[in-house]
Structure 1
């Protein structure tokens, strides 16, 4: 499964860029493949092509078959990730996309599973389907001649799915086995954060083990480790270490989500008419102790929020006649947040429609204040409110 950003990002109200080429939309989930995939495809073709040639003596076609293996490997990763995504959507969790990249794939799920049981099944769905496909392909391979193209393709299919399934069951983040470990610790302790910390450190231990593995094998055989084995061990171990570290960082961020409250994060605001000069708006904001200025129409309905940078760019003398409407950003239909929103509910509202600021409405429907994206990101990162 995952987790390029565990699948939660430390900047919840910023829109992410497209990560690569859009491949398809199975079950309505966008699947992207990055250009880094070609690195692995070329390496697999070159290395495995020689093995196929030794087995089947196909000539140059052996490398074509090796390239097919690279495609089957990533198709297996895609099916694996789709299993995560389908189960997550079954539980009502929004899936942003699937990304296939140099070392595998990631399912980006926009919300955390609410219970350890659901976390377990979302994480387990991928390895389970991979292992079932491996068993099915292995059964068919036993009926095929191993020294034919069909037999080789079936062999490739069950090996690819076995690799994807077994590797992902290792007990450490960012692997699926780490999410299973996290779900188990969460269930035992009642704290998702503790589960994340244990699973992240499990991932770090696994990363060190992967780096050391080529040296251990070489030592047991009384030989020096091969350069390719060392390189792959370092690359894979480094990927796992960085993923575990990011998961640990994201766990700390996620632990702050319950403390997010629109009432506390909103900046006090003053409501002024659209034709009011900036200088007079400054006076009203100071008198009211406000940190934001909301612009209303003639009926008193809020329609925009003064952009701080644009307002500051107006020189002192001009502020006496430039109206606030000239330096304000219009409020969209999604820029309204209830003052009672907090925790996961608030985060879901903000990530659903990423905007630089939101108008916070009081219980009576009036203007309570302005919630800025930078303040939410600062709170998630454990920093104070930004100026």
Structure 2
């Protein structure tokens, strides 16, 4: 669910974020009761709710700084999304070098540590209101813990990305650097799983299951990130000219939608077709657009009426590599899932 935009970046909340609010609120209330045993239910609810909401704002600040530094370095950011285990900035491309990655990765934990330090400092001021003092102290502790945890060299967490960036600068090989960082990330993930099981079975602490889940996700994400990096880098050795489709079927803009479905979509099993009008390339007809047209109107609606005009379709140069093409495709995701390749002869 989209809740707004900051600096052009969409902010979304997944329904599982509700669990963060509940768990963070419960943890905060338990902390408050340790210091104020005689606290009322209303006080506990207020402390838990206030703390969980400010924690979400702190996570947003953490992720927003990742996104801002990414954009300052020419890397597009699609959105920031909150979900069960926190927040994530959906950065659309890898940094160009290790130094840039260090800047992007380290700014999030540093932001959390600064926020935590400020809040912790405020808690030591002479405050007449215990509720406010404990709020500052608890939120300061949470933010400092968040910053330190993210600095663990566990790829693809922030600290793991810093490790990869250092290795990348040293070896001049992002694949080798990512492979090593992935191994470290998987080891730390396995350690979290092991410690979680020890807590559960030796000490009876059910909270150990969270470590098991986090460790499992860390290992999975590390492997997936490595595979993704290998795939993206392999595309840099392939030219668009080698993989472009030069024999793309053209359909007339004067056909009805029903005719286009019967003669083209059913026969060729494609998601989209180029549209020509009076011999000129005019646009693209996408299957998703056709689905929006009611059955009873498909015999009276023409291709030219619902096609995407050619001016709105992203274009790329014929000689760029597959990695650059993928970057362009990600940049335009939502507006088009097709790129036209500009050549001297025509577009393909």
**CA shift in 2, pair 1:156/1:115, >3 Å:** same
Match of 1:159 in 2: 141
Match of 2:268 in 1: none
Q: Shift of residue 199 of structure 1? A: 1.6
Match of 1:243 in 2: 221
SS of equivalent residue, structure 2 residue 118: helix
Match of 2:118 in 1: 136
Q: TM-score normalized by structure 2?
A: 0.80
Q: Shift of residue 29 of structure 1? A: 1.7
Question: 2-side partners of 1:82 and 1:189: how far apart?
Answer: 30
**CA shift in 2, pair 1:206/1:54, >3 Å:** same
Q: Kindly indicate whether residue 345 of structure 2 is the aligned counterpart of residue 345 of structure 1.
A: no
Match of 2:338 in 1: 357
Greater relative CO, 1 or 2 (CA 8 Å, sep 6+): 1
User: Which one of 311, 334, 340 corresponds to residue 333 of structure 1?
Assistant: 311
The question of whether the paired residues in 2 share the 8 Å contact of 1:72 and 1:156 is answered with no
Q: Shift of residue 118 of structure 1? A: 0.6
The question of whether the paired residues in 1 share the 8 Å contact of 2:105 and 2:158 is answered with yes
Question: 1-side partners of 2:249 and 2:23: how far apart?
Answer: 62
Q: Kindly indicate whether residue 161 of structure 2 is the aligned counterpart of residue 179 of structure 1.
A: yes
In the alignment, structure 1 segments of 5+ residues that lack a partner are: 1-19, 283-291, 309-324, 370-387
**CA shift in 2, pair 1:351/1:195, >3 Å:** same
Q: TM-score normalized by structure 1?
A: 0.72
Question: 1-side partners of 2:244 and 2:16: how far apart?
Answer: 42
Match of 1:225 in 2: 203
Q: Shift of residue 76 of structure 1? A: 1.6
Q: Shift of residue 119 of structure 1? A: 0.5
Question: 2-side partners of 1:211 and 1:101: how far apart?
Answer: 21
Question: 2-side partners of 1:70 and 1:207: how far apart?
Answer: 26
Question: 2-side partners of 1:256 and 1:146: how far apart?
Answer: 62
The question of whether the paired residues in 2 share the 8 Å contact of 1:123 and 1:180 is answered with yes
Q: Kindly indicate whether residue 3 of structure 2 is the aligned counterpart of residue 29 of structure 1.
A: no
Q: Shift of residue 153 of structure 1? A: 0.9
Deviation per residue, 1:264-305 (Å, 9 max, x gap): 111222787848999xx99xxxxxxxxx9855433x421246
SS of equivalent residue, structure 2 residue 207: helix
RMSD: 3.2
Report the count of equivalent residues. 317
**CA shift in 2, pair 1:252/1:345, >3 Å:** closer
Match of 2:184 in 1: 202
Q: Shift of residue 25 of structure 1? A: 1.9
SS of equivalent residue, structure 1 residue 171: coil
Q: Kindly indicate whether residue 103 of structure 2 is the aligned counterpart of residue 124 of structure 1.
A: no
Q: Which moved more, 1:156-165 or 1:208-217?
A: 208-217
SS of equivalent residue, structure 2 residue 316: strand
SS of equivalent residue, structure 2 residue 236: helix
SS of equivalent residue, structure 1 residue 183: helix
Q: Shift of residue 88 of structure 1? A: 0.9
Match of 1:58 in 2: 39
The question of whether the paired residues in 2 share the 8 Å contact of 1:203 and 1:244 is answered with yes
